[in-house]
Amino acid sequence: MNILQLVLENEAKLKAKEKERDQRVGENKGKMTALKSEVESEHKCLEEKQTKIKEKIEKGCSYPCSAVEIRIIFEIPQHETLRLLLYMLPLNLIHTFEPD
């Protein structure tokens, strides 16, 4: 084999490898775009949920009531009610505390 043939074979192999690389890069860009879109959508959904929860907490803090009443009024699952009450506890203590 002469040197020219080796150079041509290596160039052909290099072009094939570059083509494979470019194809993988294109596939990965598509996957990243889809993933980015999914993450942004989930982020937006979580922001909306957070806003609704804050509104419920503010509404719940505006008048005193028991844990059961809060759960019924806002249709909150029991574990969420506990988290809400733990958040509201200091506020309720401040509003209901009467010094002797």
Extents of the domains making up the chain = 1-52, 63-100
CA–CA gap between residue 58 and residue 63 (Å, rounded): 9
What does the pLDDT read at residue 1? 66
Supply the pTM of this predicted model.
0.45
Read off the pLDDT of residues 1-29 as tens digits, 9 standing for 90 and up.
688 898 899 999 999 999 999 999 999 99
Region of 95 please: left (phi>0), alpha (psi -120 to 50) or beta: alpha
Read off the pLDDT of residues 47-97 as tens digits, 9 standing for 90 and up.
888 888 888 777 766 666 565 555 555 666 666 655 666 666 655 454 444
CA–CA gap between residue 17 and residue 27 (Å, rounded): 15
What does the pLDDT read at residue 98? 47
